[in-house]
């Protein structure tokens, strides 16, 4: 154990040789090193915290933009379902109307929380199946729209022809160049055009009646589907608000939605009843025998 005592005595002897100022400098240096080490540790933690907060802010900003667009397109998709019968398949691909909603739904599923993304996926599936179902139900209305367009074109052509023939008769009479044979032929053309315009006008009216009846049937089939769509859509809105750290009183929102839907449904049913009565009155008038008028 003598060597340990000798080593200790040697350190004490060396320490006694060093002036106090050196020891003070050494102590100060050690304190600075410990302080820098502590500051570095705090700075790293602060930077990590700020990075996490900045990331949260960026995610929140992206979600806010995508969520608001998705909410708008959800409402648009529901309105679009009601407009399908009035569209013309010959002029546009009817499925294109669902593309904006599908695009925003895909964006949302990338940035949303898992539960919210799954809810949107389920809503997209429900909208897709509903769209395909009601696209078939809209076919009678689309067929009637095509008949309306065709009958209207023929009607307009015959109206133009009757006006042309009548103008020619008037011109001949005013210039004194009319003769019985040619005037009779022009009158025949005029009468034939008038008869055809009346026929195509009646065809157009009948096609409109078919369209109105088909539209009523379509809306009657759509109304029972709306509550389920509304419930899933607004449940998703609650999740979206939660992801954005917004207050969401789920029970109050759903109760308000239910009250609004009951009011809207009541008014829709009243409107449908009114339109049915109007359609029945129109059919009765069309079924009544027409008096024959001799315009020749």
218 in any annotated domain: yes
- The pLDDT value recorded for residue 235 is 87
269 in any annotated domain: yes
- The pLDDT value recorded for residue 80 is 92
pLDDT digit string, tens, across residues 53-110: 666 778 888 889 999 999 999 989 988 998 999 998 888 899 999 999 999 999 999 9
What number is the average pLDDT over the span 186-194? Answer: 89
- The pLDDT value recorded for residue 24 is 59
241 in any annotated domain: yes
- The pLDDT value recorded for residue 293 is 42
pLDDT digit string, tens, across residues 199-208: 999 999 999 9
What number is the average pLDDT over the span 246-270? Answer: 69
Q: Does the pLDDT value for residue 144 go beyond 90?
A: yes
What's the sign of the alpha-carbon dihedral 90, 91, 94, 96? positive
Q: Structural domain of residue 278, as residue ranges? A: 23-139+214-287
- The pLDDT value recorded for residue 73 is 92
Say if CB 82 and CB 222 are below 8 A apart.
yes
Q: Does the pLDDT value for residue 16 go beyond 80?
A: no
Residues contacting 75, CB < 8 A, separation 6+: none
> Among 91, 86, 79, which Cα is nearest to 211's?
86
- Distance, in Å, from the CA atom of 38 to the CA atom of 33, rounded to the nearest integer, reads 9
Query: Which is higher by pLDDT, 269 or 195?
Result: 195
- Distance, in Å, from the CA atom of 195 to the CA atom of 178, rounded to the nearest integer, reads 24
Query: Distances in Å between the alpha carbon of 214 and those of 133, 137, 209, 282?
Result: 15, 8, 9, 15
161 in any annotated domain: no
Query: Distances in Å between the alpha carbon of 239 and those of 66, 67, 93, 179?
Result: 14, 10, 33, 84
Query: Which is higher by pLDDT, 261 or 172?
Result: 172
What's the sign of the alpha-carbon dihedral 208, 99, 136, 151? positive
Task: Tell me the CA end-to-end span of the chain in Å, nearest whole number.
Answer: 146
272 in any annotated domain: yes
What number is the average pLDDT over the span 104-121? Answer: 92
- The pLDDT value recorded for residue 169 is 81
Q: Does the pLDDT value for residue 248 go beyond 80?
A: no
- The pLDDT value recorded for residue 20 is 60
- Distance, in Å, from the CA atom of 153 to the CA atom of 158, rounded to the nearest integer, reads 9
7 in any annotated domain: no
Count structural domains, the chain. 1
> Among 108, 135, 136, 134, which Cα is nearest to 121's?
108
- Distance, in Å, from the CA atom of 185 to the CA atom of 196, rounded to the nearest integer, reads 17
Residue 52, φ and ψ in degrees, nearest 5:
-65, -40
User: Dihedral (C-alpha) 41, 44, 48, 53: value to the nearest 10 degrees?
Assistant: 90
Residue 289, φ and ψ in degrees, nearest 5:
-65, 140
Indicate the pTM of the whole model: 0.68
Residues contacting 187, CB < 8 A, separation 6+: 165, 169, 296
Residues contacting 116, CB < 8 A, separation 6+: 108, 236, 239, 240, 242, 243
Around Cβ 104, how many Cβ atoms within 10 Å? 22
185 in any annotated domain: no
119 in any annotated domain: yes
pLDDT digit string, tens, across residues 31-59: 656 566 666 667 666 766 666 666 677 88
What number is the average pLDDT over the span 120-148? Answer: 93
Where does the chain have alpha helices with state H? Answer: 2-17, 20-83, 99-111, 114-137, 139-175, 180-222, 226-243, 250-287
* Average pLDDT value for the chain: 79
Q: Cα–chain-centroid distance for residue 207?
A: 30
- Distance, in Å, from the CA atom of 162 to the CA atom of 156, rounded to the nearest integer, reads 10
**If pLDDT is split at 50, 70 and 90, which confidence band does 211 have?**
very high
């Amino acid at each position: 154990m003598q060597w340990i005592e000798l080593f200790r005595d040697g350190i004490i002897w060396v320490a006694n040789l060093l002036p106090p100022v050196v020891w003070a400098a050494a102590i100060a240096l050690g304190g600075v090193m410990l302080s820098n080490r502590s500051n570095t540790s705090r700075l790293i933690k602060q930077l990590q915290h700020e990075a996490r907060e900045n990331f949260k802010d960026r995610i929140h900003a992206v979600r806010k933009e995508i969520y608001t667009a998705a909410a708008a397109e959800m409402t648009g998709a529901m309105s679009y379902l009601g407009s399908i019968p009035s569209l013309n398949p010959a002029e546009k691909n009817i499925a294109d109307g669902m593309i904006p909603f599908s695009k925003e739904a895909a964006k949302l599923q990338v940035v949303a929380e898992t539960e919210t993304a799954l809810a949107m996926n389920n809503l997209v599936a429900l909208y897709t199946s509903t769209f395909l179902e009601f696209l078939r139900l809209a076919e009678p209305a689309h067929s009637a729209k095509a008949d309306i367009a065709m009958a209207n074109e023929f009607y307009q052509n015959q109206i133009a022809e009757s006006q042309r023939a009548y103008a020619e008769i008037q011109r001949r009479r005013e210039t004194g160049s009319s003769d019985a044979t040619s005037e009779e032929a022009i009158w025949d053309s005029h009468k034939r055009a008038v008869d055809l315009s009346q026929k195509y006008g009646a065809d157009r009216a009948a096609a409109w009646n078919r369209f109105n009846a088909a539209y009523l049937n379509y809306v009657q089939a759509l109304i029972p589907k709306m509550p389920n769509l509304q419930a899933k859509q607004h449940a998703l809105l609650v999740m979206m608000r939660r992801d954005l750290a917004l207050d969401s009183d789920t029970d109050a929102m759903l109760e308000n939605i239910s009250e609004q839907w009951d009011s809207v449904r009541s008014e829709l049913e009243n409107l449908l009843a009114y339109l049915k009565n109007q359609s029945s009155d129109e059919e009765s008038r069309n079924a009544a025998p027409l008096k024959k008028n001799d315009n020749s």
